[in-house]
Amino acid sequence: MPQFAHLFSPLTLRGVTLRNRILSTGHDTTLPTDGTVNAALIEYHRARAKGGAGLIVTQVAGVHETARYTSHLLMATSDACIAGYQALAEAVHAEGCAIFSQLFHPGREIMESADGLLAVAYAPSAVPNERFHVMPRALPAALIDEIIAGYGNAARRMRQAGLDGVEVVASHGYLPAQFLNPRLNLRQDAYGGSDANRQRFLAQVLQAIRAATDDGFVIGLRISGGERDDAGLTLNEAVAATIALEPHLDYVNVTTGTSASVGGAVHIAPPMAFAAGYVAPDAGVFKRALKVPVLVAGRINQPQIAEAILTAGQADMCGMTRAMIADPEMPNKAARGALDDIRACIGCNQACIGHFHRGLPVSCIQHPQTGRELAYGTLPPTPSPKRIMVVGGGPAGMKAAATAAQRGHHVTLYEAAPHLGGQALKAQLLPGRAEFGGIVTNLTREMELAQVTIRRGVRVTEELVAAERPDAVILASGARPYVPDLPTDGQIQIVTAWDVLEGKVTTGAKVVVADWRCDWIGPGLAERLTRAGAHVTLAVNGTHAGESLPLYVRDTLAATLQGLGVQIVPYARLYGTAGDTVYLQHTASGAAIEVSGIDSVVLALGHHSVDELSDSLQAMGVAVQMIGDCLSPRTAEEVVFDGLRAGVAV
């Protein structure tokens, strides 16, 4: 039996037969710039279709003017959208992949507006949203009719553009889910007061879509199998609704969570702290209750996980969206058994959903070509191969070496340490961050496939460069912890995050973690030390812990630290120590903050560049590029992108 017999078997949804069970679920890319499909979005989806996906569901398309929940939403409210969707459908179909569009109305879940003014939000009833602090207006009957007609008209446009189907978004607490939820839908008219009435809105939406299209057009429903919030739709309520609506549906796509609360929203793009495939048991409940196919998503980042879910009968198809953001070729690689070549998603969320929350186009810290397909989708082969020396085997150097070698250069990478990976090897030592080490595994494999020569345990000197006589040098020598000159009498031990992670120190029972970067290092150290028995105060030089992190990573960390009882002091600048007291300064008021009885201070104050060669090599007349932290200490996303650009430029 083939290794992935279920995953690579076809699946028929109404009149459309999919070549396999791998799904790219609807996700906002922030690539469109004017509410319509553009070239960047087409190339993004073309890459995943070419990479072997069975079905692509495009990001949400607004069905009514009141559906504008962000400033960069695709809109399907006029025929002007048809040409863009037609070009997208043709590109995806040419690669043998089917394509649906999500149809969307957020109800009260309004994030932002285009001009900075607060929008008027509409919902079944005037029940406030907690996360975005929105008080909606109850939908009048006439506006309900308009929105239902909007779904039908949007579906007609998608059919006219040549798409194979649409998916109505009733997941994550958006408008259809608000109608289904008895805690949010307080109406006493035809759309509330009973299960049948609360289901009426969705039933009429689905009927309008079918009436506006044809019998061969696929109509699906995305729904959360429980919104994981006290006021959210429950699993039983969601299952009951889909059973009632099944006659109108060709499939059900199961996810989990809600946009309405911080705790529920982390499931929209669950970070690496969540187990792989954790939504599959919920999907199994739908699978047992329904006759139509059931799709599922939720941290399914490897084909082995997807195959296990399908084999267990928990679903008929698996959403592997971030897996294909990290590696668009994942399906093709899995089909030919090249599992070691797959660049597995590590669930960091930094450049995918993290970019969306900042209003930036989608990308991936491991695969910066994602979202930049127009510029970097194809690596140009070099017309004149050179001998390239890469100094440093962290993520920046590894990506530069792999990229340059893929283009045809002869590349040798030198790493002074016995192991490749740089700071990523330390990142994976923090609680819940073990998967981060996958970036090292993935980049190592990229170098192997590109036939990079790797020399570990070799420190590069001027003499070595002179002896090797490379045509160009790429410096990626990294950074070390920044240790400021603090006033201290030496009574409190002061150590770095690296000292703790490498097991070089014992911190004692009471610890202050000084967190300047406001990323995952400070909270991760606080969690690790607390679990080891210490009482930890996390002093954050920012408004809150994890201030610079993607929201769902930050919120998951916040929940963990609260559960562990870690004391968090925001607006706190480390000033110095005396006796057993750590002195902090409030960054807004300048007032002193004292924390007494402390054994150790752990510094998470960022890094400073290690650059011992650039000046001397330039004096020797060697062509030098500096990349990564040796150029400027940043995050893995920036240094890997540096590596890509250097490998293309050399």
Determine the Cα–Cα distance for residues 413 and 405; give it in Å rounded to an integer.
Answer: 11
Q: Degrees (nearest 5) of the Cα angle 315, 320, 321?
A: 135
Give the Å distances, CA to CA, from 370 to 243, 270, 341, 367, 631: 38, 20, 17, 6, 23
Distance CA 277, CA 508 (A): 38
Question: What CA–CA distance (Å, rounded) separates 54 from 335?
Answer: 12
Active site residue 122: no
The residue among 536, 576, 389, 405 whose CA lies nearest residue 472 is 389
CB 410 within 8 A of CB 387: yes
User: 576: how many CB neighbours lie within 10 A of its CB?
Assistant: 18
CA distance 1 to 394: 40
Which of 245, 253, 254 has its CA nearest to residue 227? 254
Residues 6+ apart with CB under 8 A from 524: 430, 431, 432, 433, 557
3-state secondary structure of 577: strand
Q: Residue 59: what are its φ and ψ, rounded to 5°? A: -60, 165
Buried-exposed string 448-470: b where 16+ CB fall within 10 A, e elsewhere? eebebebeeebebeeeebeeeeb
CA-to-CA distance for 342 and 7, rounded, in angstroms? 16
Quote the CA–CA distance of 133 and 268 in Å, as a whole number.
Answer: 19
Amino acid at 27: H
| Cα-based angle 239, 240, 243 (whole degrees, multiple of 5) | 85
104/175 Cα distance (integer angstroms): 8
**3 state DSSP class of 55:** strand
Q: Which of 44, 85, 174, 191 is catalytic?
A: 174
Distance CA 191, CA 160 (A): 31
Structure token digits, residue 300: 């399914």
8 Å CB contact between 600 and 507: yes
Rounded-to-integer distance, Cα 551 and Cα 595, Å: 29
Work out whether the CA dihedral 176, 177, 178, 182 comes out positive or negative. Answer: positive
Q: Considering only CA atoms, which of 75, 77, 80, 100 is closest in space to residue 89?
A: 100
Judge contact between 441 and 398, C-beta under 8 A.
Answer: no
Give me 468's structure tokens. Answer: 């090797």
Active site residues: 174
